[in-house]
Amino acid sequence: MKKLLIALATSTALISPAMAQELEKDELTFGFIKLTDMAPLAVAYEQGYFLDEGLFVTLEAQANWKVLLDGVIGGTLDGAHMLAGQPIAATIGYGTKAHIITPFSMDLNGNGITVSNEVWEMMKPNIAETDAGQPQHPISAEALVPVVEKFRSEGKPFNMGMVFPVSTHNYELRYWLAAGGLNPGFYSPENISGQIGADVMLSVTPPPQMPATLEAGTISGYCVGEPWNQQAVFKGIGVPVITDYEVWKNNPEKVFGITSEFAEENPNTTKAIVKALIRAAMWLDENDNANRMEAVEMLSKPEYVGADAEVIANSMTGTFEYEKGDVREVPDFNVFFRHNATYPYYSDAVWYLTQMRRWGQIAEAKPDSWYDEVAKSVYKPEIYLEAARALVDEGLANEADFPWDSDGYKAPTPSEDIIDGIAYDGKAPNAYLDSLPIGLKGDQKVIGNEVQG
């Protein structure tokens, strides 16, 4: 892992003594995974936004999401680019128990689901075409059902990869499969494989290894963030069939995670971090993404994502390539600031909790009030708004760009913005769970290999 070291001698002059004294801690190490949505960290570093706040930051790529989380919990990392499900799962004690919070949401959208060339050819007869002869998007998992059935008839499991059990990718892949009538399997306290009763077997593969694992035939498809879907297209080994923007328009993705202890002990430092990240997100989206090619060149460096700039640009600059040559406009595939992308909404946290409950990671039913309490213990919009207010007061941000009067919940997501046509209201999690055709409802539990109740 390559460290990015700041040249102290050239930067000290930028920091006022008053600013330095206000910070409880000014030398920080942040972790990330090699994905394009770590961009706010890279931009805050490269554009000098961390330095503007008096922060001397080192960025370190991590081997996988577990190592990254352990680093934050153990204190070798002060904070990190995290899966949104990680702070939530840790706080409720699913996996490692630790109180992790997020004062900053890093992006919206940015993921895709890719299948092997073999599976794509088997799916194509089941997909409607446009007048131009191209596959009609969004593609439902209904087109995958006959493929899974064929595998089963031949005595073969249908395997797909996702990046972590509490990742957005796991839940998005499950959502897409279930919307098409395929059961992605359940978890139980005794069986954490997530494959109980599954039609499709999901397993963990680190993001950068997805294309190679697909090419080796170990999996027949995967859900991952960029640039690893576009990499499959460039290598000619797979076809992305749907983006998460098509699964759930403007869905929340990664967050910046820190321990609650860090935030309590370092309130001024935490505020300074969030200020720098907000500025980075603004830069990434300003003037209709005018800075995206500069960001692409930045991310292509080996210390960040390390993929070819051409591959990263395929999705970062407002397009997405499905089959080779099938390039379509998706201007909001990667969103870093628009649509209040950086605000840590309670309703986003509640959605992740509903998916944990839906698939058995939360083994027993919880009242709506529990979802609200957990969301508010992890997502911290009050810290975010304090940082935003400081930026506005300093003339670095516009008052109109922040949801000052929000109660922390987004307006319900309308049915037309979600692949299964089922609306989502974060204030009514149990009603939402009851509306989903596949998944645990009410007091149901997974006992042994079956759902009971």
Task: Give the SS3 label for residue 123.
Answer: helix
Alpha helix positions (H), 39-84? 39-46, 49-52, 65-74
- Give the pLDDT confidence of 323-372 residue by residue, as tens digits: 999 999 998 999 999 999 999 999 999 999 999 999 999 999 999 999 99
Q: 9 falls in which pLDDT band (50, 70, 90)?
A: very low
Q: How far apart are CA 244 and CA 168, in angstroms?
A: 10
Q: What is the pLDDT of residues 86-105, one digit of tens each?
A: 999 999 999 989 999 999 99
Taking the C-alpha atoms of residue 210 and residue 87, their distance in angstroms, rounded to an integer, is 24
Identify whether residues 66 and 12 lie together within a single domain. Answer: yes
Do 86 and 177 share a domain, yes or no?
A: no
State the burial class of residue 382 (Cβ atoms within 10 Å of its Cβ: 0-12, 13-18, 19+).
exposed
Model pLDDT, residue 331:
87
Whether residue 211 is contained in a domain is answered as yes
> CA 365, 446, 218, 229: dihedral to nearest 10 degrees?
-20
The verdict on residue 414 lying in a domain is no
Nearest to 424 by CA among 255, 173, 181, 249: 249
Q: Which tokens belong to 141?
A: 């998992």
For the segment 283-290, the average pLDDT, to the nearest whole number, is: 96
Statement to judge: residues 274 and 162 lie in one domain: no
**Quick one: average pLDDT of 164-187?**
97
Residues 82 and 139 in one domain: no
Residues 70 and 137 in one domain: no
Is pLDDT above 70 for 15? no
Average pLDDT on 136-153 reads 97
Within this chain, do residues 229 and 294 fall inside the same structural domain, yes or no?
no
When pLDDT is averaged across residues 112-135 and rounded to a whole number, the result is 96
| 422 domain residue, yes or no | no
What per-residue confidence (pLDDT) applies to 57? 98
Closest to 80 in 3D by CA, of 130, 21, 16, 28 = 28
Q: What is the mean pLDDT of residues 220-226?
A: 96
Specify the number of domains making up the chain. 2
Strand residues in 50-146 grouped as ranges (E): 56-61, 79-82, 100-105, 108-109, 111-116
Does position 18 have pLDDT exceeding 50, yes or no? no
φ, ψ for residue 383, nearest 5 deg? -70, -45
**Coil, strand or helix at 354:** helix
Averaged pLDDT, 143-170: 97
This prediction's pTM: 0.94
Whether pLDDT at 8 is above 90: no
- pLDDT of the residue at 130: 92
Query: What is the model's pLDDT at position 11?
Result: 41
Q: Are 363 and 446 in contact (CB under 8 A)?
A: yes
What is the domain extent for residue 296?
8-108+253-344+380-401
The yes-or-no verdict on residue 6 having pLDDT over 50 is: no
Identify the sign of the CA torsion 73, 100, 350, 369: positive
In terms of domains, do 89 and 200 share one? Answer: no
Q: What pLDDT score does 84 carry?
A: 97
Provide the mean pLDDT of the chain: 94
DSSP 282-303: HHHHHHHHTTHHHHHHHHTSTT
Residue 203 sits in the same domain as residue 268: no
How many residues in the chain? 453
CATH of residue 242's domain is 3.40.190.10
According to the model, what pLDDT value does residue 16 have? 41
Distance CA 17, CA 88 (A): 37
Q: How far is CA 451 from the centre of its chain?
A: 29
How far is residue 379's CA from residue 360's CA, in Å, rounded to a whole number? 23
Structure tokens at 430: 């149990």
Residue 51: pLDDT above 80?
yes
116 in the same domain as 92: no
* Residue 294 pLDDT greater than 50, yes or no: yes
Sequence-ordered list of residues with C-beta below 8 angstroms from that of 403, at least 6 positions apart, any chain? 340, 343
Q: State the Cα torsion 394-396-399-400 to the nearest 10°.
A: 180
Q: Are residue 240 and residue 202 in the same domain, yes or no?
A: yes
Domain identity same for 103 and 19: yes
- Of the candidates 99, 48, 105, 448, the one whose C-alpha atom is nearest the C-alpha of residue 274 is 105
Q: Is the pLDDT of residue 19 over 70?
A: no
- What is the per-residue pLDDT across 317-331, written as a single tens digit (0 to 9) for each? 988 999 999 999 998
CB 47 within 8 A of CB 34: no
Contacts of 166 (CB under 8 A, 6+ apart): 83, 85, 86, 88, 89, 94, 95, 352, 356, 361
